[in-house]
């Protein structure tokens, strides 16, 4: 008995998947897009977003290089850090970079 239920449930799920897949294949999403408007919108995005992203990249690379330069210039002694406190500082600093870097890259590619 349980095998019949499973097969009916599986076949109904499979039928739903097939109908969704067929309806997506029949749908034409490119109808109604004006190429001239698309070019203008993309040009506006490029003119506004690329300079902002360049500036953000510059600030990010300056932050990362400044941390290395500060360590070379004895920041540990100036701030009274002992042991591995500088390493903990770097770990805390890189957590947002690692967590938010990939999603931001994905968003900028869309």
Kindly state the DSSP code that residue 29 receives in the 8-state scheme: T
Instruction: Report the alpha-carbon distance of residue 54 to residue 95 in Å, rounded.
Output: 22
* pLDDT given at position 35: 84
Tell me how many helices (H) and strands (E) the chain has. Answer: 4, 0
* pLDDT given at position 8: 55
Q: In a structure prediction context, what are the per-residue pLDDT tens digits for the chain, which is 110 residues long?
A: 555 555 556 666 655 665 665 665 655 555 667 888 888 888 888 888 888 888 888 887 777 778 778 888 888 888 888 888 888 888 888 888 788 888 888 888 76
CA dihedral 83, 87, 93, 98 (to 10 degrees): -150
Residue 47 burial (C-beta neighbours within 10 Å; 0-12, 13-18, 19+): exposed
């Amino acid at each position: 008995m349980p095998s019949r239920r499973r097969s009916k449930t599986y076949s109904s799920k499979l039928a739903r998947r097939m109908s969704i897949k067929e309806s997506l294949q029949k749908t034409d999403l490119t109808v109604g897009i004006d190429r001239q408007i698309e070019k203008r919108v993309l040009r506006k995005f490029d003119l506004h977003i690329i300079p902002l992203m360049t500036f953000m990249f510059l600030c990010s690379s300056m932050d990362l290089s400044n941390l290395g330069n500060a360590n070379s210039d004895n920041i540990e002694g100036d701030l009274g850090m002992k042991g591995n406190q500088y390493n903990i500082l770097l770990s805390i600093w890189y957590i947002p970079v690692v967590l938010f870097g990939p999603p931001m890259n994905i968003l900028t590619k869309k």
